Each structure stands twice: as structure tokens, then as C-alpha cells.
Structure 1
Amino acid sequence: MRLTLPYLIFFVWFSIFSCSSSVSNPLNGKHLRVIWPSWSGNPKVLLGPLKGGVLLDYLSARFNFTHEMVPVEGGLEPTVGRGQLNYLIDNQCDLLINNIIPTVSRNKNVDLTIPWTYDNFAILIPVPDETANINAVIKPFQWPIWLGLGVSILCVIIALNTIQQFLDQPSKKETNAIELGDDKMVQAKTTNYYIYVYGLLLSQGGPCESKRLSIRLVAGVWTLATFTFVQAYSSILFTYVVAPVNRPLINSIYDIFDNSDINLFVRVRTIDLLIQKNDTTAIYREIAKRLDSKSNSRCAYISECIQKVTPGSSNIFMEASSFAKDAIKVEFNKTGKCNLQFATEGFATIVSTFALPKQSPYTKTINQGLLELQQSGIIDFWELWFRPMPPQCNGKPPNGNTAPKKNSSLSFKNLTGAFIVLLVGLSLSSLAFLFEKIISIREHRLGRSRNKVRFAGTK
């Protein structure tokens, strides 16, 4: 009896454990029919999670079941033809491994698992080309400041000339040797004031020859004002000169609402589902209006949308970041160039689930396996494993906070504005020189003709 009791306890415990394990694992020894769009037997145009194969292998090993692939021809919910969800509804499939966005209508027809991955909609934009930084010279100041500066120049010149003419009114001849009162000296002083005002503004300086207190007060005020203007302009100008000459088309989804030239493209049954779920949100309504404004803004496949996002165009494409990374990699492998990149900010976090037939006895067990995978963190590791992005084309926008590997010199496109100003100045000076030369030749000829007449009169 003493030996029989321990064996009896062990037998009862083993029986209970065996019963509980078989009850907790309804998949034990079962054979499932599985749909995985990325399976090699399906058309390559179908999109599915790349790591769906290892997920299925883990679940089958964890819960001891076998499986077979069900070939499909259509997408999840195609507008025409039979979709993948129809196989579940018709009980021709036991498990659908796909990136299924949970909706109320889908939950009524099939069993949705817990979210197995979290993603967001990324915005693919063409990599911007380098553009000439023409406006760098005028960018430091806004137009009201430039307008105020021009008015100030006119006011100072008018004030100096008015004061000079008023002070020279009583007498045409000044006792001061510096300030002569004849007309030629008054004209020379006026010219000197023009040179003085512009010279200070261009940091060239210049003496104020007048000894009059009122003129010196105006000159002193202008000196302080030009010092402030020049220092502010010079300090801000450097920022615009070294600014990147390849500015991105947009930085976030909100930028498209301010620019009607930008064309937004999406894949059918993706962002549209979020719009239907959030039709009361202002930004979703704006996106819907932008999409509805053009008939070809929705594509059946990612490849169709990617073909429209070309360098130099104003087309952008919104897609889940995982599929967008695949598109960047495919484009890079095809062309050898990095023609696509992400906008700085993504949009709308999304979750993806698997699906089983309605009231499936395996739903709870599949949820348990997905929770274990999420707890281990291996799903994120598989993402890096299956989507290795080329380092020179990882889709991330340039980050200004990261230090460059080597010091980059300024290119001609950074200083295009300065060279344009120099070209305009040289052109004006050449025209002025030609004009003065023509006048001098004319005066020289008139002088020679006068001398001939005068010489003939003396005879």
C-alpha cells in the first residue's frame, strides 16, 4: 500500500496534466489550411507579410499542428472577384496570415486575432534634386524690412539734401574752406551724400565732410541704423547660404493642404479604411477630398503608385512603412540610385491582425502564440532580418543634427544668389560706363566744333 499510493498520485497528476494540456491546445495534431499571400505558389503581385512564413513555422512547432497552403489569385478584398476573406467565410481556409486592418464589418464576418504588428502610414516622396539657392541673398529679411530699408534710404538722402540746401540759402559763399557755396560745390555735396548713405549700408564707410550739427545728427542716426541692419543681415545670411539646396517636397501630411500642386496617391483598401472609420476627423476629411478630386489617385498595386513618384515630380505616395521600405529597396536594386525617401513625419499608427473563420476553436490559441512572440520581441528582430535596407538608401530623410562624416565645401548652388547680384552689378556698371563714354565722346566732338568755329571767327 505504501508503494501503491505514490504511483496512484503520480498517475492521477499525469492524467490531469494530459487532459488539461489537450484542452488548452486544440491545435494539437490538427491539420490547417493556411493562406499566406507571399507564398511562392501565389502571384507575385499579392502583398503579404514577409515574416509570415516564420510566424507560421513557430506556431506550428509551438502548438504541434501541420498545415498546407491554399493558393489564391486575388487580394484581401478586391473590388472584382473573390477575395481572401471569402475563403474564410466559405470555410475553405482555417488561418489567413496577412496585414489585416481590423474593422467592424470584418469582425462581423471573421474572427480577428490580437494585433501582431504595429506600423504607421509613411509618405514616400521623390528624393529632391539640388536647386540653385537664388533667394539666399534676400531671405534674411522679410519684404516689409526691405521696403522699410528702401524708404529709410530715401528719407535720409532727402533729409541731408534738404538741410544742406536750407543752410546754404542765406549766402552762396561760405567762409568755411570745406563748404563752398557755389552751385558746383552744392552739387558735389549732394553726390557725396548719396555715396555716404550707400557706402555705410555696404559696409564701405565714408567721411561726413559737413561740420553742421544738424547734418551730423542725421549722419549719426544713419550710422547706428546701418550698423544694426548690416550686423543682422550678415549673421542671418550665413544660415541661408549654407542651407541645404535639396529641400524635400513635403515634411508631413499637413503640407499637402497648403500646396495644390502636390498629388497624393494611395493603394485601394488601405488609407480608405481609416477614412471610413474616422470620417468625422478634419484631417481625414481633407485627405478624402484630395483623393476624390482626382480620379486616378487610387492604385490597385504598389508598383502602379511607385511608377508615378519620380524625381522632379510633385507626386507622393502614402503606404504602410513596411511595404514602403520594400518599394524603396526594389527601386534601388532596379536603378542603382536612391530615388525615394520618407517624409520627415509619418501619419496614423495602424495595427494588423490575422483572421480565422467566425467562431473558430483555434482563435484563442493563436492569440496565445502571438502574445508569446510579442513578449519575446522576436517579431521586431524578424523585421530587420527580412527587410535589410541598403545603408546608402534607407529611406530616412537627412537629419541635420547628425554630424557629417566629412566636411563638405559650399557648392556654386549655395552662392548662386551672390553671383547673380555680382552679375547684375557688373552689367549696370558696364552700361553706365558705356553711357558715360558716349556722353564724353559727344562733348569732345562738340568742343572740337566750338573751337573750330571760334578759330574761324578770329580769322
Structure 2
Amino acid sequence: MRPPKRVSVCSKPRKALPGEVEFFLGDVTITYERNRVVEFSFLTLADSGAFVTKAPGRLNEALALVRPFQWQVWPPIITTLILSGPVMFMVMEASSLWRPRNRRALPRWDLFWSCIWFNTTIFLRQTGREVSKSHKVRLLTVLLSFAATYVIGDMYSANLTSLLAKPGREPPISTLEQLEFAMKTQGYQLLVEMHSSSYGILENGTGVYQKLWRKMARQPYFLIESVEAGMQHVRDSKNFALLGGRETLYFDTRRFGSNYYHLSEKLYTRYSAIAMQIGCPFLENFNQILMQLFEAGILTKMTAEEYEKLGGELRTDKVKSDTKEKANSDQADDAIAGQQVTTGEKTKTVSTAHLLADDKKLQPISMTMLQGAFIVLALGYSISVVAFSSEMLMKILGAHEVKCKITKPKVDTTAFQNFWVWCEDVYSRLAPLSSEDDSCMTLDYIE
């Protein structure tokens, strides 16, 4: 199968063309297009493609009361709460179908609402008055109490406590399909390094890569000079994603702060090597040295130590700048920027790097996390006010209607009936006369 016609050669391997340099000592991704102009040594790095996005933000803490259970669990719970009252009413009224004499004096409608309210108090763990003292109702009450207290209530309380101690987060973007959907619905923008292998994969790719490339073409910009610039874009803005090598992105997240980024799954495999001129005489020497370093694990160790060193320098500079700003702004923040621990005559300064807030640690519950409970309380008060107002309005209207009935003038039904009888008698006398006149007029017309 022939490769696609849309090809682009990285600027780095072009330096290894004849007339410039003999080889390019660096991790250059091996691609088909680059193999046509340069020659590669033994593998220096086996990597895979990935993309990085901003770390998922925290979910709204006001809605924490509904998150202990997934949305698939809430419909059965609500259905159980709604049907438990009618079921208890049916259990109580079942005996009255064949023994009507044992029917209680309480009206059915009042009994129905009493059953619903009693079951609501059971699920809310409140005290209530028993609707009936029969054994079947007590057995049903015990079953509902077990279900509400030891199954639903305890699981809800345990999950809610863990969520309040460690708040939940938004679902992360980990696959290309999720990234495409986010670019379509949430306005995400995908960035890629200029003249990189990831750029070539997007430009010449098919399937989901082609869809991503078409969406990237409609962006204001998508090419960046370096991976570091892309990492800063992703850290400073929410709707940005960066495509590149997974190892490079992984170590860069450690450099800039792993709590700011989310690394996706492995997308594809890519290999890096040293780019040389075609027919370079040093190729065999490089291959022997690289194979020895690779077998001994020195290449992996050197790469990890180098990125750890860069990350340590970046964190140290950041700690120094933060400490200086906090010392100038407020002396009280010195406990956060650095603590001095005195042991005898020596004073030890605890580095700020060890005191930086880690977002993954458990945090104490604050009033912000509990605002959902106050929202529910305010909603309950509002419903109570509406119910109380409607009951008072109905009571006032009922009293006014009774008052109107009392003050309405009474009609003498006897006189009215006599008048109606007199009208019927008059009508019965006049009806024959009118019929005779009509018949006479008809005969005159015929003649």
C-alpha cells in the first residue's frame, strides 16, 4: 500500500542533509517521510502518542447531596418511596374486601394519606404515629425500616462523607473519541508542535485523526513552537489540548505541576532515534553504543534523571518567587511559605515545596461543601409556606361560603309552588283557544 501524498519533512532531520551536518544527536521520531531523506540509528526511545488536557475541575459542591448514588440508583429509590405508602394502604384495606364489618371508621382518603406520610417519615428517619396496630402492618413497617436505615441510609451516609472529605471531579477526557466530542460540543482546541511527528499523523491520518484535523483547520491557530509553550497554554486555559509523545508530556507535567494536567491513554506507538546522513560511516559505531546503553538501562535512567532535574529546578524557582512575594505582602503567610523549627541552638527551615497544597489529599469539611443542605432546607421551608398559605386560603374561602349561605334570604317555597301551579292552569285554559283560532285561519286560507 502506497503512503499518502500529503507529506511533510521535519525541520530537524533536514539539518542532517548532505552539505550541512553529519548527524543530528537527539530523539527524532521515525516516520516513513523522514526515512526517505535521512537514515536512523538504533532506537533511543520507545514512546507512544498521547494528548494532555487541563486537570478536571471540581464538581459543584452544592449538588453533593445527590452524588452519593449514581443517577441509575435514584429512580428505584424514588419509586420505592412513592409506592410504599399505597402498598401499605392496600395491605390494610385488603381484609375489608371480604369482611366489610371490620372496616375502620377512618375514611379511606384520610387513611391513604396517613399511610403515605407514615412511610415518608420512615425513609427520612423521623418518628411518626402508627397507622395501624395489626401484625401485617407492623411487619411491613419493620421491612421498610430495615431497607431505609441499613441499606439506603447507611450507604448514602458513607458515600456522602467520603465525597465531602474528597470532592468529586468532572469526567476526564482520555480517548480521541472523547476529545472529538469535546471539540464539537465544548469548544476544545487541539494544539500540536510544528513539524513534529504528531503533526504528520494528524495531517495524513484517516478516521478520527482526519476528523480532528478538519476541526483544527477551523481554529484560529493550532501550531506551536515547542511542547513547553503548549503546556503553558493548557495550564492557563481550560479548553486546550496538546498532542505529542507520551513520555515527553509525562515529564513535562511533572515539570510544570502534575496537578494541573490530565494525561490521556496511549494512542499509538512511536520510536525515536538519531538522524544521520544516508550512508554515514558512523552508523555502526552509534548502533553498538546505543545497544549497550539500552540493554544496561542507562538510557532510561538518564532520561528520567534529566527530567527530574529540570522539574526540581522549576519547582525551586517557583518556591523562591512565591516565598518572596508572600513575605513582602503579609508576614502572617510565613507559616505557609516556610516554617522555622528550632531544636536547641539550631534553626531548621522547612522548604515550601513540602508544604504546597496537594489537591489529592483529604481536606476538612467547610461551609461551602455543606451549602447543599441549606439549599434543601430553604426549599423545604418554601414548600411549607406554600402549603400553609394554600390551606389558609382554602379555609378562608370555606368560611366565606358558609357565611354567604347563612346570610342568603330564604325563599318561600310554598308561594313559589302555588305560583307555578297557577301558571300551569292558565296555560292549560289558553291552549285550546289558540288551537281553534289556528284551525279557523287555516280553513279561511284554503277557501
Q: Same fold (TM over 0.5)?
A: yes
Query: Which of the residues 294, 313, 316 maps onto 2:238?
Result: 313
- Give secondary structure in 1 for the equivalent of 2:9: coil
Percentage of identical aligned residues? 17
Q: Is it true that 1:351 corresponds to 2:274 in the alignment?
A: no
Q: Is it true that 1:197 corresponds to 2:119 in the alignment?
A: yes
Q: How does 1:68-147 map to 2 (within 5 A)?
A: 77=9, 83-147=11-75
Q: Is it true that 1:250 corresponds to 2:173 in the alignment?
A: yes
Whichever residue aligns with residue 91 of structure 1, its letter is G
Map Cα deviations across residues 188-231 of structure 1 (whole Å, 9 max, x no partner).
Answer: 54333122110111111434342334444443443343343333
Please give the alpha-carbon distance, in whole angstroms, between the structure 1 residues aligned to 2:140 and 2:254.
Answer: 66
Please give the alpha-carbon distance, in whole angstroms, between the structure 2 residues aligned to 1:317 and 1:340.
Answer: 13
Whichever residue aligns with residue 425 of structure 1, its letter is G
Cα pair distance change 1:382/1:219, threshold 3 Å: closer
Matched length: 352
Check whether the contact 2:165–2:364 (CA below 8 A) recurs between aligned residues. Answer: no
Cα pair distance change 1:164/1:109, threshold 3 Å: closer
Partner in structure 2 of residue 341 of structure 1: 261
- 1:343 Cα deviation after fit: 1.9
Check whether the contact 1:125–1:342 (CA below 8 A) recurs between aligned residues. Answer: yes
Cα pair distance change 1:113/1:219, threshold 3 Å: same
- 1:358 Cα deviation after fit: 1.3
Q: How does 1:393-412 map to 2 (within 5 A)?
A: 408-412=363-367
Higher helix share: 2
Partner in structure 2 of residue 286 of structure 1: 208
Map Cα deviations across residues 263-322 of structure 1 (whole Å, 9 max, x no partner).
Answer: 433234322445799x7xxxx843343233441565253477557536563331112356
Check whether the contact 2:25–2:275 (CA below 8 A) recurs between aligned residues. Answer: yes
Q: How does 1:114-193 map to 2 (within 5 A)?
A: 114-165=42-93, 167=95, 181=105, 183=107, 188-193=110-115
- Give secondary structure in 2 for the equivalent of 1:147: helix
Please give the alpha-carbon distance, in whole angstroms, between the structure 1 residues aligned to 2:396 and 2:90.
Answer: 34
Partner in structure 1 of residue 154 of structure 2: 231
Cα pair distance change 1:453/1:192, threshold 3 Å: same
Check whether the contact 1:137–1:417 (CA below 8 A) recurs between aligned residues. Answer: yes
Please give the alpha-carbon distance, in whole angstroms, between the structure 2 residues aligned to 1:240 and 1:344.
Answer: 24
- Give secondary structure in 2 for the equivalent of 1:203: coil
Cα pair distance change 1:118/1:168, threshold 3 Å: closer
Cα pair distance change 1:142/1:249, threshold 3 Å: closer
Q: How does 1:42-61 map to 2 (within 5 A)?
A: none
Whichever residue aligns with residue 364 of structure 1, its letter is E
Cα pair distance change 1:418/1:263, threshold 3 Å: farther
Cα pair distance change 1:114/1:338, threshold 3 Å: closer
Unmatched 5+ stretches in structure 2: 1-7, 320-357, 410-447
Cα pair distance change 1:346/1:409, threshold 3 Å: farther
Unmatched 5+ stretches in structure 1: 1-75, 395-402, 455-459
- 1:350 Cα deviation after fit: 3.5
Q: Is it true that 1:381 corresponds to 2:313 in the alignment?
A: no
Partner in structure 2 of residue 219 of structure 1: 141
Partner in structure 2 of residue 435 of structure 1: 390
Q: Is it true that 1:426 corresponds to 2:358 in the alignment?
A: no
Partner in structure 1 of residue 338 of structure 2: none
- 1:156 Cα deviation after fit: 3.1
- Give secondary structure in 2 for the equivalent of 1:208: coil
Check whether the contact 1:128–1:312 (CA below 8 A) recurs between aligned residues. Answer: no
Map Cα deviations across residues 162-188 of structure 1 (whole Å, 9 max, x no partner).
Answer: 4545656899997xxxx96154xx555
Please give the alpha-carbon distance, in whole angstroms, between the structure 1 residues aligned to 2:17 and 2:97.
Answer: 103
- TM-score in terms of structure 2 length: 0.62
Please give the alpha-carbon distance, in whole angstroms, between the structure 2 residues aligned to 1:409 and 1:285.
Answer: 47
